[in-house]
Structure 1
Amino acid sequence: MKKIFASIIAISVFAACSKDFLEHSPVDQQTETSFYQNPDQALQALVAVYNQLNIGDFDNIHLVSELASDNCFGGGGTSDLTWKQWDRGQESSNMNLGVWQKYYTGIYRANVLLSKLEGVNWGADSTLKNTYAAEARFLRAYFYFDLVRFFGNVPLVTKQLTVSEYNTPQATPADVYKLIAEDLKFAAERLPAIAYAGIPGSNYGRVTKWAAESLIGRVFLYYTGYYNQNDLAGVVTKAQAINYLEDVITTGGYDLVDSFPRLWQAAGRSFVGEDNKETIWSIKFTHKGLGNWDQKNGNRMQVHIGIRNQVLNPYYKGWGAGTVNPRLWNAYDGNDTRRNASIISIEDENLTGYAVGDQSQYTGYFWKKYQPLNEGNADSKGGNFQIDNYFDNIVIRYADVLLMAAELNLEGNLSKAQTYYNQVRDRAFLGTSGRKTLTTADGKRLIMEERRLELALEGVRYWDLLRQGMNVAKAAIDNNSSDPQFVVNFRTETQGLFKIPEQEINLSSGVYKQNPGWAN
C-alpha cells in the first residue's frame, strides 16, 4: 500500500472514453492546490473515482470469486496457472496484488475528493456537494466491501496520509464494516429519491439511492452471516436492512424483466438492453478505447471467459477461463429458462465446430452471461478483442433485491418472503409450475439454492457460501474426481480469505500480518 499512498494520483488519469457521464476530457497540467475550485472540477475528480471500477485483468474479483466457488473450474490454457490456483486455493507469489492496488487506489481517490469538497465554490447549487459526497462515499464503501471480504484484516484509511502514516496497521473487520455501513447510510440518505423511470439516460452507471439501499442489504447479510452477528457493526439493524430493501421494492420503480434470457446479450432472446428496469447498478464499459491499452475502459473479464481461441457463432473468441462445473448445469430443472440463458452447452447447442485444443479443464460448459459475441465484436469496431469488450458488468439486479428481502423476511413475515421468492421463480419458469413453499425451517435453504440458480456466474455464489459457514462452503466447493485436474479441496483453515500480496507485507516492514492458511 505504500506504493499507492507515496504518490499523488494525478488528475490526468481521467478516462476520456467511458460511457455517458464519464465522458469527460482529461485534465492536464493541474496541481492539487489549484484544481478543486468549482463543481466541474469536482465532477472530474468524482469521475476519477468511478474510473477505478473499470480496472482489472485476469484478477477481476467477479471472475476470481466464481473460480473459488463451486460454479467453475480455473480453466484457461494448459499453461495458464493463476486461474487454477484461485480455483484450488493454491499459493502464488503476489497473485492478488492487482486486487489490492485497484481498491486502495479507488479509496485514495475518494478520500482526496471528500477532503476537498468544502473548498469548492458550489455557487447557488447547495445540493450538489452532498450528492458528490454521497457518491464518493458509496464508492469508498463498495471498494472496502470487496477488500474486506477478500482479505479480512485490511488497513482502514479515510484521509490522505502523511509519510509517517503509510504503514497504517490492519483494522479489525468490525471497524471496516462500520465505515462501510456509515458510508452507505450517508449515501442512501442524501442521494435523490428519483425512481428508475426518471433517471436520465446520461446518468446510467452513477450510483443512486436505490443502489446504496440495495448494497446495505448485501453487506448486512454477508457480515451477519460470516461473522455470526445480529446487526451490521452496530450501525444497521435487521429491521433497518429490511426497510432499506423494501424502499427499493416499493419506491425505486424497478421490476423484473418479463423473460430471464432477455437480460443477457448472448442468450439470443431479444436482448432487452443495458440499463433496463432490472439493473439497479452496473459498471459501465465501452469499446471506444479502440485498441489503446492505456485506456482501460473495456470489460476484460469477457475475453477471459470467452470460448478459447475460436469463433463459434454467435460467440466470439476468448481465453476459456472459468469452465463451468457440470454440477451447476445439472442443478437446474429442465424447464428452468435460466439454465440455457446462463450457460453454454457445447453439446446441447450443437456447436460441432468446437475443438478442445489447449483448453484446460474442459467440461463442455462455458459462461453464457458476459460471453463476447461475434456480431459487433470489438475487433470489428476497430478495437482489440483482448481489451475492448463492452458489455456492462451488472453489480446489483432487482431479482437479487427480491431474494435478499425474502431471506430477511423469513422469520418475521413469511407471506411476504414467499411473495418475493415466487416472483423470481415464476419468471424463471414462465408461470407458477416451479413454485416451492417456504417454511421457517427450510426457507433459508430454498432461497440460497434460488440465489445459486438466479445469480449464477454473477460473482455472488462464493460469498453466499461463506456466509453460511465453512462446513457449508467446503461441502459445496470440494470436488472429488478420478481426473486429478478437477480435484478441488476447499481449505477451511483460510476461512475463505485470500492471500495478502507478499509485496504489501514486505513494504509494511512487518506491520501487516498474513491471513491464516497462507505462507508469509
Structure 2
Amino acid sequence: MKSLKLLAASLLLFGACKQDLEVEPVNQYLSENFYQTEEQVFASLIAAYDPIGWSMAMGQWISPVMLGEIRSDNANAGGDASNNDQPAWQELDDFRETNTNTILQPIYRKNYIGIFRANLVILEPELESANIDRYQAEARFLRAYYHFELFRHFGPVPVIDRLLTPDEVGLERSSMDELFTLIKDDLKAAIEVLPTTLSENELGRASRGAAQALLGKAYLYWADLDNDDAEKFGLAAQYLQDVVDSRQYQLEDDFANLFAYETENSPEAVLEIQHSNLWPSDWGWFEGIEGNGIIQLCGIRGLCSDYPEYSAGWGFLLPTADLNDHFLSDDDYRRDAAIISLSELEETVTNEGIAGCGVVVDLSENNPSDYTGFWQQKYANYKEYEGNNINGGDPNLTKDGNTYAIRYADVLLMLAEAIHRSGGADAQALEYINLVRERAAGPGDNTGSFRTAQQLMADTGWSLQDVIWYERRAELAGEGDRWYDLVRSGRVSNDLFDAEKASNLKTESIWLPISLEETSVATKLSTYPETELFN
C-alpha cells in the first residue's frame, strides 16, 4: 500500500511539473546541436578511443590478453585456492562456458560501444577540414579494430556501419566476407589520410603504420579461414611490407626492456594501448577502467611483502609447463621475459639476503589445479606502481603500464608467414624471421652466435611454417595472440590440453557464444556462427 501511495504522489507531481520540464537544454549539448566544431568532433573521437583500453567493464575483467592466453595451451586461469576464483574465467579456461557466462556481454558490449562512438565521428559531422578528415580516418581505423576484435572472439558478428534506430533489434550475423570487407574498406580509407609519424602528444592514436599492420593482420586471418587463399595472403604481405618499408619502427635491442617498468611507446610499438592512473577507477565504474587491470590481476599470488621488485597480485594467467618447455635452446632468452618460476624468486631472495622472506611465495594461496610453478612476467606487478592512484581511485585498478596491441616483431613474423603462404620468396621470409631470432639471442650484435631459421630447420626437421609457428608462440607468449593463431590456422586440438580440459573441447568452443542478454533481444542473432559463414 505504501509503495502505491508513493507512485500516485509521483504521478501527480509529474503532471504538475510537466510544463516546467519541457524547456530547451541549458548549458549542455545533445546530438542535434553537437559536432559543430572541430573541438567537439575531436572530443567525440577521444570517446571512441576510450573502450580500446578497458581491461574491466561492467564489473568484469575483459582483457583480450587474458582471453587469448587461457583459452590456449599457454596459460591456465589461476586465481585463489578455492579453484573457483572468478568463475566466469574458470569456465572460459576449461571450455565450460555457456551463453550465460558473465564475461561475454561486457566483451561484446565494449566493442559495440566503440563501434557506435566511431560511427558518430564518421557519420555525424557536416564540417570539412583537414583535421576533420584525420579524425574520421582515425574513427574508421577504430571501427575496423573493434569489428576485428569481435570477430576474433565471436566469429562473424553483425556489421554495424550506420547509426541504428531503437527499433532495429532484428540483427543477424553478417558473413565473414561482409565483415572483413568492412574492415578492409575502413582501413584502406584510413591509410590514405593517417599520418606516418605521431608527435609526442599523439602517442596511442592511429598512424598509417598501425592501419597497414592491422589490415595485413586482418588479411592474414581472412586468407587462413578462406581455404588458405593465396591471393589474400599476398595482400597481407603487401600491407605488412609497407610497414617495414616505412622505416618508422625497429626492434628493441633488449627484449626484456619491452616489458620493463615505465617502458612505453618504444620504437617497436606499432599500436600500443595507453593506460592511465589519472582517472578514479573503482569497482563500481560501470563502463571501463582506465588503468591496466591485468597487472594486479596477474601478479604473483602469495608473494612475500619484502620481495624487492614485485608486489603480490591475484595469481591469474599462470603459464603452463608446456609453454615453459617451448623455448628451445640457450640462444633464446625470451622465456626469461615471459615467465618467472618459484625457483627464480627463491634464488633472488637467497642472493640478496632478504631475511623477511622466509617463505617467498605462500603456495597455499594459489589455485591448486592451475598452478604449475610459474607466473607470467610480461605484465609484472612492479612495486613502483604502488601509490600511483590519485583522485580516489583503487590502487589495484589504476596501474598504468601500457599494453601492446601490435609490435614490430609481430609485423615481421606475420610478413614472413604471408610471403611464404602466398607463394612468395622464402628467402625473404627467412630474412625477416632471422631479424626476430637474432634479437631473441640477447642484446647486442649476435651475428654468427645464434641459430638462424635455416639452421633450426636443419636441426629439427621442421618446415618453414613450423619455424614461424615456433617463433610466434615464443615471441608473443603471454601477450594474447596464441589462441587466435591456433583458431585461424585450424590447429586447435585435444592434444594441446590436459585430459579434463580436452574432454570439454568441442566444435562450438572455437568461438565464444553470444550472450543470452543479446540473443534474447535480437532474436535472429544466432548464439554460434553457422558453418556456412566460413565458406
1:21 counterpart residue number: none
Q: Does 1:503 align with 2:517?
A: yes
Q: Does 1:357 align with 2:364?
A: yes
Q: Does 1:494 align with 2:494?
A: no
Q: Does 1:275 align with 2:265?
A: yes
- Residues 211, 281 of structure 1: 8 Å contact kept: yes
Of 344, 347, 364 in structure 2, the residue corresponding to residue 348 of structure 1 is 344
Letter in 2 for 1:513: S
CA distance in structure 2 between the aligned counterparts of 1:389 and 1:446, rounded to whole angstroms: 36
After TM superposition, give the deviation of residue 412 of structure 1 in Å.
Answer: 1.1
Of 72, 87, 98 in structure 1, the residue corresponding to residue 93 of structure 2 is 87
Q: TM-score, normalised by structure 1?
A: 0.84
Q: Does 1:455 align with 2:461?
A: no
Q: TM-score, normalised by structure 2?
A: 0.82
After TM superposition, give the deviation of residue 259 of structure 1 in Å.
Answer: 1.0
1:5 counterpart residue number: none
Q: 3-state SS of the aligned residue for 1:131?
A: helix
**Do the aligned partners of residues 108 and 154 (structure 1) sit closer, same or farther apart at CA in structure 2, a change above 3 Å counting?**
same
After TM superposition, give the deviation of residue 246 of structure 1 in Å.
Answer: 1.3
Q: Does 1:386 align with 2:386?
A: no
1:473 counterpart residue number: 492
- Residues 319, 375 of structure 2: 8 Å contact kept: yes
Letter in 2 for 1:354: V
Letter in 1 for 2:277: H
- Fraction of identical pairs, as percent: 30
Deviation track 1:148-170 (CA, whole Å, cap 9, x = no partner) reads 12112322211111233122222
Q: Equivalent residues in 2 for 1:194-273 (5 A)?
A: 194=197, 199-230=198-229, 237-265=232-260, 273=263
- Residues 303, 319 of structure 1: 8 Å contact kept: yes
- Residues 62, 107 of structure 2: 8 Å contact kept: yes
CA distance in structure 2 between the aligned counterparts of 1:325 and 1:292, rounded to whole angstroms: 31
Deviation track 1:390-435 (CA, whole Å, cap 9, x = no partner) reads 1101101000011111112223111111111101001111324232
1:20 counterpart residue number: none
Q: Equivalent residues in 2 for 1:296-307 (5 A)?
A: 296-307=289-300
- Residues 230, 237 of structure 1: 8 Å contact kept: yes
CA distance in structure 2 between the aligned counterparts of 1:161 and 1:64, rounded to whole angstroms: 29
2:196 counterpart residue number: 193
User: After alignment, is 347-356 or 434-443 more displaced?
Assistant: 434-443
- Residues 173, 529 of structure 2: 8 Å contact kept: no
**Do the aligned partners of residues 417 and 153 (structure 1) sit closer, same or farther apart at CA in structure 2, a change above 3 Å counting?**
closer
- Residues 216, 235 of structure 2: 8 Å contact kept: no
2:526 counterpart residue number: 513
Deviation track 1:65-98 (CA, whole Å, cap 9, x = no partner) reads 2110110011112231222211111124243111
1:6 counterpart residue number: none
Deviation track 1:334-366 (CA, whole Å, cap 9, x = no partner) reads 422111111111212326510013311211111
2:136 counterpart residue number: 133
Q: 3-state SS of the aligned residue for 1:308?
A: coil
**Do the aligned partners of residues 292 and 441 (structure 1) sit closer, same or farther apart at CA in structure 2, a change above 3 Å counting?**
closer
**Do the aligned partners of residues 441 and 28 (structure 1) sit closer, same or farther apart at CA in structure 2, a change above 3 Å counting?**
farther
Deviation track 1:286-321 (CA, whole Å, cap 9, x = no partner) reads 111245554721111222211125444311232211
- Residues 416, 432 of structure 2: 8 Å contact kept: yes
Q: How many residues align?
A: 465
**Do the aligned partners of residues 378 and 346 (structure 1) sit closer, same or farther apart at CA in structure 2, a change above 3 Å counting?**
farther
CA distance in structure 2 between the aligned counterparts of 1:316 and 1:356, rounded to whole angstroms: 15
Q: 3-state SS of the aligned residue for 2:148?
A: helix
After TM superposition, give the deviation of residue 383 of structure 1 in Å.
Answer: 4.5
1:9 counterpart residue number: none
Deviation track 1:364-397 (CA, whole Å, cap 9, x = no partner) reads 1111111221123246767523210111011010
Letter in 2 for 1:373: Y
Letter in 1 for 2:74: N
User: After alignment, is 408-417 or 323-332 more displaced?
Assistant: 408-417
Q: 3-state SS of the aligned residue for 2:78?
A: coil
Deviation track 1:457-491 (CA, whole Å, cap 9, x = no partner) reads 1111111111221xx211553223xxx6xx44462
Of 360, 367, 375 in structure 2, the residue corresponding to residue 366 of structure 1 is 375
CA distance in structure 1 between the aligned counterparts of 2:319 and 2:387, rounded to whole angstroms: 24
1:333 counterpart residue number: 328
Deviation track 1:215-273 (CA, whole Å, cap 9, x = no partner) reads 11111111211332526xxxx8433322211111121421101111111126xxxx7x2
Aligned-residue RMSD, C-alpha: 2.3
Greater RCO between the two (CA within 8 Å, min separation 6)? Answer: 2
User: After alignment, is 171-180 or 292-301 more displaced?
Assistant: 292-301
Q: 3-state SS of the aligned residue for 1:219?
A: helix
After TM superposition, give the deviation of residue 456 of structure 1 in Å.
Answer: 0.5
1:404 counterpart residue number: 414
1:33 counterpart residue number: 32
Of 392, 417, 436 in structure 2, the residue corresponding to residue 424 of structure 1 is 436
- Residues 378, 384 of structure 1: 8 Å contact kept: no
CA distance in structure 1 between the aligned counterparts of 2:35 and 2:374, rounded to whole angstroms: 50
2:123 counterpart residue number: 115
Tell me, which stretches of 5 or more residues in structure 2 are unaligned? 1-25, 350-358, 531-535
1:18 counterpart residue number: none
2:72 counterpart residue number: 69
Deviation track 1:49-70 (CA, whole Å, cap 9, x = no partner) reads 0011122322222211211011
Which structure has the larger Rg over C-alpha atoms? Answer: 2
- Residues 254, 398 of structure 1: 8 Å contact kept: yes
Q: Does 1:323 align with 2:345?
A: no
**Do the aligned partners of residues 193 and 476 (structure 1) sit closer, same or farther apart at CA in structure 2, a change above 3 Å counting?**
farther
User: After alignment, is 498-507 or 380-389 more displaced?
Assistant: 380-389
CA distance in structure 2 between the aligned counterparts of 1:463 and 1:39, rounded to whole angstroms: 38
CA distance in structure 2 between the aligned counterparts of 1:372 and 1:507, rounded to whole angstroms: 40
Letter in 1 for 2:361: Y
Q: Does 1:313 align with 2:308?
A: yes
Q: 3-state SS of the aligned residue for 1:146?
A: helix
- Residues 151, 499 of structure 1: 8 Å contact kept: yes
Q: Does 1:44 align with 2:43?
A: yes
Tell me, which stretches of 5 or more residues in structure 1 are unaligned? 1-26
CA distance in structure 1 between the aligned counterparts of 2:36 and 2:302, rounded to whole angstroms: 50
User: After alignment, is 307-316 or 400-409 more displaced?
Assistant: 307-316
CA distance in structure 1 between the aligned counterparts of 2:276 and 2:502, rounded to whole angstroms: 36
- Residues 169, 512 of structure 1: 8 Å contact kept: yes
- Residues 56, 102 of structure 1: 8 Å contact kept: no
Q: 3-state SS of the aligned residue for 1:140?
A: helix
2:167 counterpart residue number: 164
